[in-house]
């Protein structure tokens, strides 16, 4: 008789309680391993998303700075004069409508 069949026969003859307990312990251990693995994956994903958020936050701040510099009044006035050849109207060219 081999060892596996001897152990199996002893578990059945002694009772099912030790077998059920052993099975429960095995399932519990595997569950702990699975939950730990899932937790580590979620923590890694969270870390990656936090870094991505930081990158987007820096990019957003840079866009705000660029928008402010492009909307600066003196820059717009200079572009209007140089590229569009615009001039301020003289007093003679002004028409006031009441």
* Distance separating the N- and C-terminal Cα atoms of the chain: 116
Is 70 exceeded by the pLDDT of residue 1? Answer: no
- Stretch 16-27: mean pLDDT, rounded? 86
Cβ proximity of 63 and 71 under 8 Å: no
Residue 2 CB: number of other CB atoms within 10 A? 7
Query: Which residue's entry shows tokens 């590229």?
Result: 83
85: left (phi over 0), alpha (psi -120 to 50) or beta: left
Q: What pTM, to 2 d.p., does this model score?
A: 0.54
């Amino acid at each position: 008789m081999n060892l596996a069949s001897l152990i199996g026969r002893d578990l059945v003859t002694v009772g099912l309680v030790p077998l059920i307990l052993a099975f429960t312990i095995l399932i519990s251990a595997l569950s702990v391993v699975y939950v730990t693995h899932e937790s580590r994956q979620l923590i890694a994903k969270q870390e990656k998303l936090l870094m991505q958020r930081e990158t987007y936050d820096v990019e957003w701040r840079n866009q705000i700075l660029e928008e402010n510099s492009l909307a600066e009044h003196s820059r717009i006035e200079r572009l209007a004069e140089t590229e569009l050849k615009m001039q301020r109207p003289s007093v003679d060219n002004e028409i006031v409508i009441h």
